[in-house]
Amino acid sequence: MTQRARNWLLIAPSGALLLVMLVLPLSFVFVFSFGERGPSGGYVPAFTLEQYANLPARWTAFKNTLILAPLGTLAALLIAYPLAYQLAVRTDPKWKTLLLVLVIVPFWTSILIRSYAWIYILGGQGLPALLGSIGIENVRLIYTPFAVTIGIIYGYLPLMVFPIYVALDRLDMRLLEASGDLGARPMTTFLRVTLPLSVPGVATGCMLVFILLMGEFLIPALLGGGKVFFVGNALVDLFLQSRNWAYGSAVAFTLIVIMLITVTIYMRLIARLQTGREDVAVM
């Protein structure tokens, strides 16, 4: 057997699985999005753009996702950056790995269980009761956009810290010293040296979190209580409750297209930022 044939044989089983469980199902979503709903739910073959024309009916879900996903990503970034900086630059190397692992561990435990813990904290008996005891009455936290944002930050913070940490950890400390020796104040060094060099990590972290948030279902389902819902919640409703497969497929396909467009624009922007800086570095 030639080496080429052997390589083909090695990738054949996984290739087949990708075809049957990824390409085929996604093609179904595409085809179904041009179909019609059957009388008792499901799908009737047709070619119509009716489902896409109906998209504005689910506008609130798209609006919530497109507002809260970037907002949650930004909030996670603002909280993650100082921590990643502290871990990568200011921590004794002896403790670095342990402290980093402590940040990442929660990410690999069930997000379902971690999210519902916030029902306790934000629910009537939790923080609002605590605030009530110091005189701030009638604060409502659970089932608000605030609760969903907290859930998002909590759920995805580890994913944001990790890439930023990696970027900052690779940083050549001599650059920072050089900047200081040349008379730059610590803040200037941070803004002109550290921050630009950590852009790749920031970019990766934001993209990972943003992509996962676009398809989020659990956090709004548990902490938004039907009032704050994402496209993911609309999809669950369309496929499992009202069984409107054609319309649901159109919503899902639109979500994928929006994701592809935002991620592409985003990567272009980051790439431009990078090349811009390389010129400076050469100078």
Partner 1 sequence: MRLYSLAVYLFLYAPIAIIALFSFNAGRHASDFQGFSIQWYGRALNNPFVMDALETSLIVAFVTATLASILGTLAAVGLQGLRGPARAIFDALIYIAVMIPGIVIGIATLIALVTVFDVMNPWLESLWGDADSAPTLSMGRGSLIAAHTMFTMALVIIIVRARLGTLEKSLGEASADLYATPLGTFRQVTLPLIAPAVLAGFLLSFTFSFDDFIIAFFVAGSETTLPIYIFSSIRRGVTPEINAIGTMVMLASLVLLIVAQLILRRGDRK
Inter-CA distances, 8 with 15, 84, 167, Å: 10, 42, 37
Residues with Cβ within 8 Å of residue 219, at least 6 apart in sequence: 111, 115, 148, 151, 152, 155
Nearer to partner 1, 143 or 245 (CB): 245
For partner 1 (CB under 8 A), the number of binding residues is 76
Inter-CA distances, 201 with 89, 178, 184, Å: 14, 23, 24
Selected from 38, 70, 126, 196, the binder of partner 1 by CB under 8 A is: 126
CB of 71 to partner 1, least distance (A): 18
- 101 vs 173: CA distance, rounded Å: 23
- What part of residues 229-258 is at the interface with partner 1 (CB under 8 A)? 232, 235-236, 239-240, 245, 248-249, 252, 255-256
Q: Choose one: 119-127, 163-171, 197-205, 266-274; the region binding partner 1 (CB under 8 A).
A: 119-127
Cβ atoms of residues 158 and 141 within 8 Å: no
- What part of residues 190-219 is at the interface with partner 1 (CB under 8 A)? 211-212, 214-215, 217-218
Selected from 109, 133, 138, 241, the binder of partner 1 by CB under 8 A is: 109
CB of 177 to partner 1, least distance (A): 19
CB of 95 to partner 1, least distance (A): 11
Selected from 34, 36, 43, 62, the binder of partner 1 by CB under 8 A is: 43
**Single-letter residue type at 10:** L
- What part of residues 47-76 is at the interface with partner 1 (CB under 8 A)? none
- 154 vs 73: CA distance, rounded Å: 11
Strand partners, 44: 36
Selected from 41, 44, 86, 172, the binder of partner 1 by CB under 8 A is: 86
- 263 vs 204: CA distance, rounded Å: 11
Is 103 a binding residue for partner 1 by CB under 8 A? The answer is: yes
Q: Choose one: 47-55, 107-115, 174-182, 270-278; the region binding partner 1 (CB under 8 A).
A: 107-115
Nearer to partner 1, 45 or 278 (CB): 45
Q: Choose one: 50-58, 117-125, 167-175, 179-187; the region binding partner 1 (CB under 8 A).
A: 117-125
- 67 vs 61: CA distance, rounded Å: 10
**Single-letter residue type at 269:** L
Residue count of the chain: 283
Nearer to partner 1, 110 or 188 (CB): 110
Nearer to partner 1, 14 or 280 (CB): 14
DSSP-derived 3-state class of residue 43: coil
Region of 12 please: left (phi>0), alpha (psi -120 to 50) or beta.
Answer: alpha
Nearer to partner 1, 93 or 183 (CB): 93
Token pair for 155: 């759920």
CB of 57 to partner 1, least distance (A): 18
